[in-house]
């Protein structure tokens, strides 16, 4: 058999060559196309992201710009408000200074008017606290002379009398509206004693005035329990002894030893049908007073009901040495005290005003009520519940609506009147 030689045409060869090479080329081109597609997609996403971020940044910038604008406006308004407030405060300061100046001027005018009123009152010849009826005065003088045929024998050469109130000092406020505070008026111990109220049996003792003023209430005080309750506001401490009127119907004076804390003596006051001494302090029936001469009792009876009486007491035995009826009336009287044998009665009104000394009685007849100056106390809070004279210090210990007050007295000689 004849074999024919294999002859392939060019087209067939070319086709065979292409079919042998097409798979790798196709894959390469497909891959390139895929890369191009993916690159386009990634580029589009990146552009979209950049556009989004750009929009967000623009929004943030707008907000920051708005915040800056609002902050600037608020700061400007705050500055304007501050300026307005400063201007108003300056105006208020000026108004305050003007008001203070006006008040000072008013206060000066009021003080001037008070001084003029005091002067006019001292020049006024009318003496409402003294019975000016000549017949009644003569009757009183007759009674006094009958009771006191012997002239009072002075124990000292004291001849001082009040000229004016030199100064006032408010130390503290402790206790109720009425009470009594004092020192030992017969010695210089320096101790301070508080008897609060018109009745009670507990007395408070302080070592010094400084201790009294610096303490809270009576917390730093020593409590002294008395064997019986007191009555009224007329107590007195003299030579380490408390003298007081015992609570009860009987007018019994008690002498209490402050060192031994015992009662060493007592006595019934020898006056019948007693009345309250002061019209403005009706709780006090006997007001015990101390001066340079010793111990005194200020009282009133129905026998001479309109007027105040005075008695000299022996402090050792509590016996009555001598008694006087004074021309000083009880009506509108608030308190009294004795200096060098002269009783000074202090008056006020039911609606508290300025207390004043309007009646004076001297047991030695060296000073008459006409000769004595009318003394006015500084303005305070109400009326005096008690007034206690210290002959050692020449001070008045006053209780006024719970306030403890000291009055410094200006003195002069009775012979100079």
User: CA 308 to CA 298: how far, in whole Å?
Assistant: 7
Q: What is the pLDDT of residue 19?
A: 46
DSSP annotation string for 337-406: EEETTEEEEEE--SS----EEEEEEETTSSS-TTTSPPEEPPP-SS-EEEEEEETTTTEEEEEETTEEEE
Determine the length of the chain: 417
Predicted model pTM: 0.66
For residue 233, give the 3-state DSSP assignment. Answer: coil
pLDDT of residue 148: 53
Beta strands 384-390; 375-376: pairing state: unpaired
Domains of the chain: 134-140+157-416 (2.115.10)
Residue whose structure tokens are 């070319």: 14
Residue 131 has pLDDT above 60, yes or no: no
- Contact predicate 402/176, CB 8 Å: yes
- DSSP SS3 for 90: helix
What is residue 146's three-state secondary structure?
Answer: helix
Average pLDDT over residues 295-317: 94
Question: CA 399 to CA 402: how far, in whole Å?
Answer: 6
The answer to whether 298 touches 286, Cβ cutoff 8 Å, is yes
What confidence tens digit (pLDDT) does each residue in 94-129 have?
A: 888 888 888 888 877 776 676 666 656 555 544 444
Is the pLDDT score of 231 beyond 50? yes
Q: Cβ(127)–Cβ(360) under 8 Å?
A: no
Q: What is the mean pLDDT of the chain?
A: 84
- What are 353-372's pLDDT values in tens digits? 789 999 999 998 888 888 77
Burial 20-41 (b: 16+ CB within 10 A, else e): eeeeeeeeeeeeeeeeeeeeee
Q: CA quadruple 399, 118, 298, 352: dihedral positive or negative?
A: negative
């Amino acid at each position: 058999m004849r074999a024919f030689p294999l002859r392939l045409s060019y087209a067939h060869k070319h086709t065979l060559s292409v079919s042998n090479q097409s798979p790798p080329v196709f894959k390469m081109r497909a891959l390139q196309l895929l890369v191009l597609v993916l690159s386009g997609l990634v580029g589009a996403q990146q552009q979209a992201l950049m556009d989004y971020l750009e929009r967000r940044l623009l929004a943030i910038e707008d907000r920051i710009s708005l915040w800056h604008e609002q902050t600037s406006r608020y700061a400007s308004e705050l500055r304007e408000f501050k300026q307005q407030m400063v201007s108003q405060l300056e105006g208020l300061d000026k108004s305050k200074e003007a008001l203070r100046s006006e008040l000072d001027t008013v206060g000066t005018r009021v003080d001037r008017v008070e001084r003029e009123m005091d002067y006019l009152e001292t020049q006024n010849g009318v003496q409402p606290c003294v019975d000016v009826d000549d017949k009644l005065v003569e009757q009183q003088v007759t009674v006094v002379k009958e009771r006191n045929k012997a002239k009072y024998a002075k124990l000292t050469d004291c001849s001082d009398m009040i000229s004016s109130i030199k100064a006032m000092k408010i130390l503290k406020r402790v206790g109720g509206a009425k009470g009594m505070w004092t020192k030992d008026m017969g010695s210089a111990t320096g101790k301070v004693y508080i008897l609060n109220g018109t009745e009670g049996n507990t007395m408070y003792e302080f070592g010094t005035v400084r201790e009294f003023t610096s303490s809270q209430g009576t917390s730093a005080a020593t409590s002294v329990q008395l064997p019986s309750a007191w009555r009224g506001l007329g107590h007195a401490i003299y030579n380490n002894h408390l003298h007081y009127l015992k609570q009860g119907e009987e007018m019994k004076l008690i002498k209490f030893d402050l060192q031994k804390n015992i009662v060493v003596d007592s006595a019934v006051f020898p006056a019948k049908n007693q009345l309250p001494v002061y019209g403005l302090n009706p709780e006090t029936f006997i007001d015990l007073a101390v001066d340079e001469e010793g111990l005194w009792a200020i009282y009133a009876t129905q026998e001479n009901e309109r007027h105040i009486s005075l008695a000299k007491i022996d402090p050792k035995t509590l016996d009555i040495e001598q008694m006087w009826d004074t021309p000083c009336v009880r009506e509108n009287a608030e308190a009294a005290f004795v200096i060098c044998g002269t009783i000074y009665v202090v008056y006020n009104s039911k609606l508290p005003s300025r207390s004043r000394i309007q009646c004076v009685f001297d047991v030695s007849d060296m000073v008459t009520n006409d000769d004595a100056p009318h003394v006015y106390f500084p303005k305070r809070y109400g009326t005096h519940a008690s007034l206690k004279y210290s002959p050692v210090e020449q001070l008045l210990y006053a209780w006024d609506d719970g306030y403890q007050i000291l009055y410094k007295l200006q003195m002069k000689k009775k012979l100079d009147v």
